[in-house]
Structure 1
């Protein structure tokens, strides 16, 4: 345990050097290169080797894990220090310290708990605090006069960095901290470029509510750890970049879709139509159903830069979410009934056949689309509630039908269910935007 804590502390201290990047300028990469060189050539055995060795390092007798981490930091430092460099120093510092301090937070918690949720919580908490400190340190060197006004944005970016780091870490190996840091740096860079308008109440609400809902989803088994992290990050982006209405629309899908997966699960398992992993949705499933909506909410936050009316992003978000809700409910409820028919031929098929539908499932899907449309109509910028809500319902039903058709025609060994779900939500978003544009052109109050 002490060795693990010391190892995490070394990673955190190494990451903390990123705060000095603005002061070091062109030499910002030098400390990381020196650390990598020392670890690679100078530490081959002994206590320091045993302390820093990650899985696989002992067999190869090289500290490849730490060296890769230091070299990745050096590359990011060099990228950030170039003339007219696009990577901001604060994005580099946030990513490095989110990973370094996240590892330290997890190691601290590991001394008191072994369950995965507290370990992940320790990683996110440590990563968030580290990313806040990193950004503050950079801002004090580059523009400290506006630090107070920048704090809500700093906290938001820190939470995004920590959640993204925890998510990537859950999907890769422990020695791949360098991959995690690079991916997080580019993710934070993207949000810095968007320049979202972030307020203290939204950040506080987003962190508190999404964290609580993430715990509940994991505790009741509707999401795996990676799925929970993906859902929490998605919900945080929705509430901070969009608003409470966007959050309520998205979270309705997560909550109801998750509960629908667990509803009469044993019966669905016996029929061969149950969600895999005992109903706990993973990252792939969450992203397949939410990726289009997340792109839409980020686009909405960047409306001033992209020159597209915010309402169109609202329709894309709502249309994709309505599709995800309708498709999930039609599958989870419809799978409980006999007599499914293939959507393309209407002939009877066995339960669980790709592209099979029941009238009960179709009604459940319609109800789901209506619920999302109602939330979007009164909480999102989609114009007249009746017309806008009607467009969202139409998009949800069309997207649900597209999912069934794609399931019948192309789903199989090469095209999986997650790819089909993504294409269906994309079709729902496309229908919503297209009909909204047409309604506007005709003078209908969309």
Structure 2
């Protein structure tokens, strides 16, 4: 057993202290339950700061930075973060199952990842091990907590929270330093707390289909190399949330962007490379690119999931979603196809520019962009009985507006005030506003 595996196993044992709170909760007085939930982790944190660096326990828990400092800061910070989540549970209403599930997700996910690394050091496999191990541990922890506390949480919701939490944690680990487990722990718990408050009606069939489809999407992205590891995790997480919080037709629109956009980036890649217009990382899109193009759509999905609670029509948020994704796909095809042709013109002055210049477009690229927005509109039209030709036309128009805004911002402020990802995000915001505004004004059905 390697040092990393032993350390991960030790952290997993410490993480199991999260089960003490649910075991006591509801049996003893509130004050006793509070101490039982928070006390063990505070004791571990104090012990980690006090423990002598020459002891066996120190070597068991120590990371390289801890050995340099002579103090188990990693264990102390993790334990304090877990104690903080326990405080949110006993004092502020965070579901106990979310608290326990998140702690177990992280520690057992890390243990699974280290076991995979010990067998074969490959980042993709290790990340898959983290997701699977974290998912199983989170689900088991939540179900155990439900039995101990009689919380009203069904298996489909438990599965959804465990899956989305495992994917989000794996994504954060790709974006942050490996020592930032405490930050990952808190961020995942807060996200799952939010999801647990949504008025969701998750069926066993829906979550099973969602997991199956997102697994296929992730494998395809990895095999075709259309996204980096972090980009793949982002896409898979967004797809899972879209299926569960939205609908299959919402997912069909999103996967059209990921699939067609990713393949377009690979289309005639060597030619684009020679012309200096190819995507970085051999066309594999990273987290920043995926989020810049999809974050607005995700917000629309979340808003649509709770819209009826506030008396707002879900169709408004659907058209915001479809408009944003239509703009993202339109801009992607416009850039990837248009960049193959000569004599692009600046959208502001119509002057001829060099290929790859920000804000320069070709008629071939504009036509490809319109096709992209039309694909999104066609999926929406076939996927929803209530969407009319006027509704489909609204999606195309919103996508075209977003694509044009992207070109205009590229010609005016990109490189000075905004980067490429900021421009992409702004374009999807504009398209979402146009789509939602027209849907509300025209009272478009869904």
CA-CA distance at 1:385 after TM superposition: 2.6
Q: What corresponds to 1:237 in structure 2?
A: 241
Instruction: Kindly indicate whether the alpha-carbon contact (under 8 Å) linking 2:53 and 2:59 is maintained by their aligned counterparts in 1.
Output: no
Matches within 5 A, 1:220-235: 220-235=224-239
Q: Secondary structure at the match of 1:170?
A: helix
Superimposed CA distance per residue, residues 87-145 of structure 1 (whole angstroms, 9 cap, x where no aligned partner): 2212211221111111011012112222221111100001101110111122112226x
Instruction: Kindly indicate whether the alpha-carbon contact (under 8 Å) linking 2:10 and 2:60 is maintained by their aligned counterparts in 1.
Output: no
Q: What corresponds to 1:40 in structure 2?
A: 49
Matches within 5 A, 1:120-199: 120-143=127-150, 150-199=154-203
Q: What corresponds to 1:404 in structure 2?
A: 407
The answer as to 2:69 corresponding to 1:66 is no
Q: What corresponds to 1:103 in structure 2?
A: 110
Superimposed CA distance per residue, residues 377-399 of structure 1 (whole angstroms, 9 cap, x where no aligned partner): 22248x33311111100000010
Task: Give, in whole Å, the separation in 1 of the partners of 2:417 and 2:399.
Answer: 26
CA-CA distance at 1:445 after TM superposition: 6.4
Superimposed CA distance per residue, residues 352-385 of structure 1 (whole angstroms, 9 cap, x where no aligned partner): 111110000001000000000111122248x333
The answer as to 2:306 corresponding to 1:302 is yes
Runs of 5+ unmatched residues, structure 1: none
Superimposed CA distance per residue, residues 158-205 of structure 1 (whole angstroms, 9 cap, x where no aligned partner): 001101110101111111100100000001011001131111111111
Q: What corresponds to 2:212 in structure 1?
A: 208
Superimposed CA distance per residue, residues 67-95 of structure 1 (whole angstroms, 9 cap, x where no aligned partner): 1111100111112111xx13221221122
Q: Secondary structure at the match of 2:116?
A: helix
Q: What corresponds to 1:391 in structure 2?
A: 394
CA-CA distance at 1:42 after TM superposition: 1.4
Instruction: Kindly indicate whether the alpha-carbon contact (under 8 Å) linking 1:4 and 1:51 is maintained by their aligned counterparts in 2.
Output: no
Instruction: Kindly indicate whether the alpha-carbon contact (under 8 Å) linking 2:51 and 2:71 is maintained by their aligned counterparts in 1.
Output: no
Moved more, 239-248 or 11-20: 11-20
CA-CA distance at 1:46 after TM superposition: 3.6
Structure 1 residues 264 and 72: CA distance shift in structure 2, 3 A: same
Instruction: Kindly indicate whether the alpha-carbon contact (under 8 Å) linking 1:326 and 1:368 is maintained by their aligned counterparts in 2.
Output: yes
Q: Of the candidates 86, 89, 93, which is equivalent to residue 77 of structure 1?
A: 86
Instruction: Kindly indicate whether the alpha-carbon contact (under 8 Å) linking 1:18 and 1:134 is maintained by their aligned counterparts in 2.
Output: no
Q: What corresponds to 2:120 in structure 1?
A: 113
Task: Give, in whole Å, the separation in 1 of the partners of 2:228 and 2:241.
Answer: 20
Q: What corresponds to 1:419 in structure 2?
A: 422
Runs of 5+ unmatched residues, structure 2: 26-32
Task: Give, in whole Å, the separation in 1 of the partners of 2:180 and 2:328.
Answer: 33
Q: Which runs of 4+ in 1 moved over 4 A?
A: none
The answer as to 2:352 corresponding to 1:348 is yes
Instruction: Kindly indicate whether the alpha-carbon contact (under 8 Å) linking 1:323 and 1:396 is maintained by their aligned counterparts in 2.
Output: yes
Task: Give, in whole Å, the separation in 2 of the partners of 1:380 and 1:131.
Answer: 35
Q: Of the candidates 281, 289, 292, which is equivalent to residue 285 of structure 1?
A: 289
Structure 1 residues 63 and 428: CA distance shift in structure 2, 3 A: same
Q: Of the candidates 338, 348, 351, which is equivalent to residue 334 of structure 1?
A: 338
Instruction: Kindly indicate whether the alpha-carbon contact (under 8 Å) linking 1:55 and 1:175 is maintained by their aligned counterparts in 2.
Output: no
Report the TM-score when normalising by structure 1. 0.95
Q: What corresponds to 2:30 in structure 1?
A: none
Q: Of the candidates 274, 279, 285, which is equivalent to residue 278 of structure 2?
A: 274
- How big is the alpha-carbon RMSD for the aligned residues of Structure 1 and Structure 2? 1.5
CA-CA distance at 1:251 after TM superposition: 0.3
Task: Give, in whole Å, the separation in 2 of the partners of 1:103 and 1:288.
Answer: 28
Task: Give, in whole Å, the separation in 2 of the partners of 1:20 and 1:326.
Answer: 52
Q: What corresponds to 1:265 in structure 2?
A: 269
Moved more, 50-59 or 249-258: 50-59
Moved more, 45-54 or 313-322: 45-54
Q: What corresponds to 2:29 in structure 1?
A: none
Q: What corresponds to 2:34 in structure 1?
A: 26
Number of paired residues? 437
Task: Give, in whole Å, the separation in 2 of the partners of 1:407 and 1:247.
Answer: 29
Q: Secondary structure at the match of 1:111?
A: helix
Structure 1 residues 361 and 90: CA distance shift in structure 2, 3 A: same
Task: Give, in whole Å, the separation in 2 of the partners of 1:392 and 1:95.
Answer: 39
Superimposed CA distance per residue, residues 37-87 of structure 1 (whole angstroms, 9 cap, x where no aligned partner): 1111014234332332224222111111111111100111112111xx132
